Amino acid sequence: MDKESKLEEEILASFERDEWKPVPKLKSKIARFAAIASASLGKNKRVNIRISSRDLDDIQAKAAEEAIPYQTLMASVLHKYVTGRLVEPASPTPRSSRTRQKRRVS
């Protein structure tokens, strides 16, 4: 059995065990990712910046949580800032424990 057939059988078995659940707010999520995709296509300038490795680690971790590339997250934050739509959280978000553990090991 080839790899694709095995994967298809696993997916079908999972579906038959009723493990699949509807995605809440599917239309808004589709719209969000469509906006991200179209925004990424409209970029025509390149910028190089230097940031701390700690900040980059945190940005990459946050992007992974959001399931988007970290460069897309950075561009989105900058875009929201320059358009006045960047909203600060009520309380500062603590740095992830994963990032702190990673730094301890390094």
Say whether 41 sits in a helix, a strand or coil. Answer: helix
d(C-alpha 14, C-alpha 57), whole Å: 34
Position 97 scores a pLDDT of 55
Q: What is the pLDDT of residues 2-50, one digit of tens each?
A: 888 899 999 999 999 999 988 888 999 899 888 878 877 777 788 999 9
H-helix segments, 42-90? 53-66, 70-82
Asked whether the CA dihedral 12, 16, 18, 23 is positive or negative, the reply is positive
Q: Are 70 and 63 in contact (CB under 8 A)?
A: yes
Q: What is the pLDDT of residues 37-92, one digit of tens each?
A: 887 777 778 899 999 999 999 999 999 999 899 998 998 899 889 888 888 877 76
Q: Are 67 and 73 in contact (CB under 8 A)?
A: no
